[in-house]
Amino acid sequence: MSTRHFLTDLDLSAEEQDRVLNLAAWMKRNPYAIKALEGPQTAAVIFDKTSTRTRVSFAAGIAALGGNPLIINPGESQLGHKESIADSARVFERQVSLIIWRTYAQAGLEEMAEHSASPVINSLSDDYHPCQLLADLLTVREQVGSLQGRKLAYLGDAANNMANSYLLAGVTAGMDVRIAGPEGYLPEERIIGAAEDRAALTGGQVTITTDPSVALAEADVVATDTWISMGQEDEKEQRMQLFGDYRVDTDAMAKASPQAVVLHCLPAYRGAEITAEVLDGPQSVIWDEAENRLHAQKALMAWLLVESGRADEQTVE
């Protein structure tokens, strides 16, 4: 049985994504029933960038699965500076059951996975934030039901990790994903092509536009993210000007379905990418979304361990 990793949203097929989301919903109702990390086994949670939600949800989730979270903060290990990623992977795989890594380059995660028999989970890279999307899709299922055909509008920095993940995970779920941002800040062609290929299998749809109204028309879900991702702090002034037409405010929400729900992965900058009125308003489901990081990631970890032959099937049924 070969090791399954979760490095991008495309690492789960549509059927697998559905199974993980079903499991997450079940685990939310039965939080301590599955002990896929009993022993306790250790799961390494490594951060090259800062975090609140990812740190808390993985630490709590690993403990609830019967495991021991080993949190490694930025600058605390030899990984990537004094020691190669491949050599680090060879050390980790002999001692921990999961490697969860928040880093910059996607290539680093790929190198880690190539050299690790323990499953590797991307907990945010410059290119993707696939764990966040499992939580977001779980939240949308709770709020609006079946994901197939639902219209999801993402506005703002459409070249960042969240835009890429909304596109790829959204079409995997069969959603009609509309991504809107200014020229020069739209998803790369390789991401759009991959999304179109996945959409052809699932009945999903892909729209990339510079017009926020096109994205918002009758949208069931309106999502945004910070205009200044980690590592882009030096571009703050320029970015605050660039994305002004893509702010999620009451005017934008008036173009979506009246029942639309609002997502934001957080942390949020009220008055920049989203107004306080919308973020703290009745259509916002952001606190459910933040809580669902825990349930979605527990399901993902249990599923990867079973699929990789590292936990018994019956532990997740």
* Residues that bind ligand NVA in the complex, under the rule CB under 6 A: 124, 129, 160-162, 225-226, 229-230, 265
- Binding residues for ligand CP (CB under 6 A): 51-54, 124, 132, 265-266
Strand-pair partners of 176: 151, 205
Tell me the C-alpha distance between 63 and 87, whole Å.
27
The CB-of-88 to ligand CP minimum distance in angstroms stands at 22
By C-beta, is 186 or 311 nearer to ligand NVA? 186
* DSSP structure string for 2-60: PPP-BSSGGGS-HHHHHHHHHHHHHHHHSTTS--TTTTTPEEEEEESS--SHHHHHHHH
| In 27-170, beta strands by DSSP E | 42-47, 68-72, 98-102, 120-122, 151-155
Tell me the C-alpha distance between 111 and 90, whole Å.
11
Known binder of ligand: residue 293? yes
Pair type for strands 68-72 and 261-264: unpaired
Pair type for strands 205-209 and 176-180: parallel
Q: 297 catalytic, yes or no?
A: no
The CB-of-266 to ligand CP minimum distance in angstroms stands at 5
Tell me the C-alpha distance between 85 and 69, whole Å.
20
Q: 157 catalytic, yes or no?
A: no
Catalytic residue among 293, 295, 297, 310: 293
By C-beta, is 92 or 166 nearer to ligand NVA? 166
Catalytic residue among 265, 295, 297, 310: 265
Catalytic residue among 41, 132, 205, 297: 132
In this structure, what token pair is assigned to residue 305?
A: 């361990």
Q: 264 catalytic, yes or no?
A: no
The CB-of-223 to ligand NVA minimum distance in angstroms stands at 12
Q: 270 catalytic, yes or no?
A: no
Q: 132 catalytic, yes or no?
A: yes
The CB-of-116 to ligand CP minimum distance in angstroms stands at 22
The type of residue at 44 is A
Nearest to 292 by CA among 173, 131, 182: 131
By C-beta, is 54 or 122 nearer to ligand CP? 54
Catalytic residue among 17, 48, 127, 129: 129
Q: 288 catalytic, yes or no?
A: no
Residues flagged as binding site for carbamoyl phosphate: 51-54, 78, 102, 129-132, 265-266, 293
Catalytic positions:
102, 129, 132, 225, 265, 293
Residues flagged as binding site for L-ornithine: 161, 225, 229-230
Residues flagged as binding site: 51-54, 78, 102, 129-132, 161, 225, 229-230, 265-266, 293
